[in-house]
Structure 1
Amino acid sequence: MNRSLSDTGGAALVVSQFTLAADTSRGNRPGFSTAAPPSEGAPAYEAFADAMAKLGIPTARGKFGADMKVSLVNDGPVTIWIDTAV
């Protein structure tokens, strides 16, 4: 966790994930009304992936808004929950 992708020679797989904006404060079903609409989210997603690539990091992309099956191996276990006031 002390080294960047550039430091380690790593690569990035950039996928969109609107579920990160889930509101679980009430009820049994999360709400996603705080997620950006696709007209805002898609350009932000592309800009992020472009910025990674411009840094020289090998960058693969998913398809924005698609249902994707992603497999990975984490070097961990580490889970960091970042909770901020919205």
Structure 2
Amino acid sequence: MRVVIQRVKCASVTIDNQIHGEIDNGFVLLVGITETDTFDVVEKVANKIAGLRVFDDGDGKMNLNIHQISGKILSISQFTLYGDCKKGNRPSFTKAAHPDIAKPLYEHLNAVLVNHEIPVATGIFGAEMAIDLINDGPVTIILDSEQL
């Protein structure tokens, strides 16, 4: 599982010219799921996201997690995080999990984050989406479950 985490001041996802989800202060998650991911892997990644201390404390140091700042999450499924560009110029997405596998794992990630009492807005799995955000910092972290 790969997750690109962007600390944001605000963000929204638009589908068919309608805002489907929006947040203020918090994270945008771009979530990629591979064929070998499991519910245990998803829970490990979700717990890492919930505890990630990248928000400023009173001294301006990144020392607070999303819960401590009453932050929110906009979670977006993104199979292209498993694009392989080793051969040629057109990425191969064979390592991305099939939607039948990926969708339940993506939904489980969001549920675990909600269980951490973090409000989670989402796009629609598999839909064409436009994401608007104001990156705060900028702070962008890449989590790969194989490195946790």
TM-score (norm 1): 0.86
Gaps of 5+ in 1: none
Equivalent position of 1:37 in the other structure? 98
Q: 1:68 to 1:78 in 2, by over 3 A?
A: same
Report whether the alignment pairs 1:65 with 2:120: no
Q: Give the corresponding residue for 2:85.
A: 24
Query: Structure 2: how far apart are the matches of 1:25 and 1:72?
Result: 30
Note the alpha carbon deviations across 1:10-58, whole angstroms, 9 max, x for none: 1001110001001011211111000000000000010001111111101
Q: Partner residue of 2:109?
A: 48
Q: Supply the distance in 1 between the matched residues of 2:143 and 2:119 (Cα, whole angstroms).
A: 27
**TM-score, normalized by length of structure 2?**
0.52
Cα distance between partner residues in 1 of 2:142 and 2:133: 20
Name the residue aligned to 2:7. none
C-alpha separation in 1, matches of 2:82 and 2:136: 25
| CA separation of 1:79 and 1:27: change in aligned 2, threshold 3 A | farther
Higher strand share: 2
C-alpha displacement at 1:81, in angstroms?
A: 5.8
**Distance change (3 Å), C-alpha of 1:57 and 1:79:** closer
Structure 2: which 5+ runs fail to align?
Answer: 1-53, 55-62
- What is the percentage of aligned positions where both structures have the same residue? 44
Q: Number of matched residues?
A: 85
Give 1:7 shift.
Answer: 1.5
Runs of 4+ in 1 over 6 A off after TM superposition: none
Give the partner amino acid of 2:95. T
- Amino acid in the other structure paired with 1:63: I
